[in-house]
A = this chain, B = another copy of it.
């Protein structure tokens, strides 16, 4: 279950302090132009050390494409790729080999697999998302050729609007504490008819993709949770025939999806991130025998992941949309 998608599938691998993170993007159509420099720029947006509050772990994150792209074009074959882990400092993590950090995956991972790689959280580390960004970056380039664009923005950070968050961030860092927030994501240019009507509703696929990003605790599309408090008459997206002869809706409470299928309007969603679980101050916990321990702040961690999470959100959205674009082709003979 390290794979997502139906026609366009992404399988990822890699532990935080192993030799490399990587993945295989299978099912990409053949003949699509891919600009590898542009891809690297996209991946760079996820790197640390670029914004206040991000981890000081310094990874170059050079994307190494191993297959599936030749002479600047996709071959239709699986695109294997790697990003090496170069700045791993495993000695930082000896303590967590025998302790469970609160709100981390140490305890649950142990319960599931009996063994675990504790170095940097192993595969549970958010470093795993670099592989998603590589694959999503490729999908984004394919979508652009179809006139479809994806854009994620921070819409709430530490309980305030993004404009006020710098002050909050500073205060929180001083306290050795951390922040969460909300990212909004919009997809423009999606034609009507994408998404599967039952279990594969477009928003169900988007929800699963976004909820698979570390730290995400909530997902909504269109007016989302607010819609639960509205009357039906308040949120009807009435149809209109436009001057160019196309059919659209006057409002977009539905977030571009009705009955699980895109309706041609902008697709909108919001994703809630919990605050980073690793504090920069001592935290009480237990070891694997249940003895009380105090965890001292170690390792290099983000105070707030929202900026770095933007390309991850865009990547996941792009993978889902492109997959459904391909599935739609099979709906008629």
Contact = CB atoms under 8 A, between A and B. Distances in A.
Interface string A163-180: 000000000100101111
Chain copies in complex: 4
A247 B290 contact: yes
B27 A228 contact: no
24 contacts: A1-B6, A1-B198, A3-B26, A4-B199, A11-B11, A12-B198, A13-B80, A18-B66, A77-B197, A103-B254, A105-B197, A107-B192, A108-B195, A114-B332, A182-B228, A199-B212, A205-B208, A212-B260, A217-B225, A217-B255, A227-B274, A235-B274, A241-B290, A329-B329
A41 interface: no
A285 interface: yes
B31 A123 contact: no
Q: Give the contact-size bracket for chain A.
A: 35 or more
B236 A103 contact: yes
A62 interface: no
A156 B214 CA distance: 28
Contacts of A227: 180, 217-218, 272, 274-275
A129 B146 CA distance: 35
A37 B250 CA distance: 47
B199 A285 contact: no
B208 A218 contact: no
A21 B237 CA distance: 30
A117 B70 contact: yes
B217 A159 contact: no
Contacts of A249: 102
A145 B61 CA distance: 38
Given A3-B199, A198-B212, A123 B192 contact: no
B327 A231 contact: no
Interface in A56-84: 64, 66-68, 70, 73, 75-80, 82
A162 interface: no
Given A18-B70, A238-B284, A272-B220, A11 B178 contact: no
Interface in A14-48: 14-15, 18-24, 26-27, 29-32
A279 interface: yes
A229 interface: yes
Contacts of A22: 66-67, 80
Contact of A24 (B6, B11, B113): B11
Given A75-B116, A111-B193, A217-B221, 4 more contacts: A1-B199, A3-B9, A207-B208, A218-B218
Given A26-B1, A108-B262, A333-B145, A172 B128 contact: no
A158 interface: yes
A307 interface: no
Contacts of A200: 1, 212
A277 interface: yes
Contact of A239 (B21, B102, B235): B102
Which of A18, A64, A191: most chain B CB closer than 10 A? A18
A128 B294 CA distance: 51
Contacts of A15: 67-68, 70, 75, 77
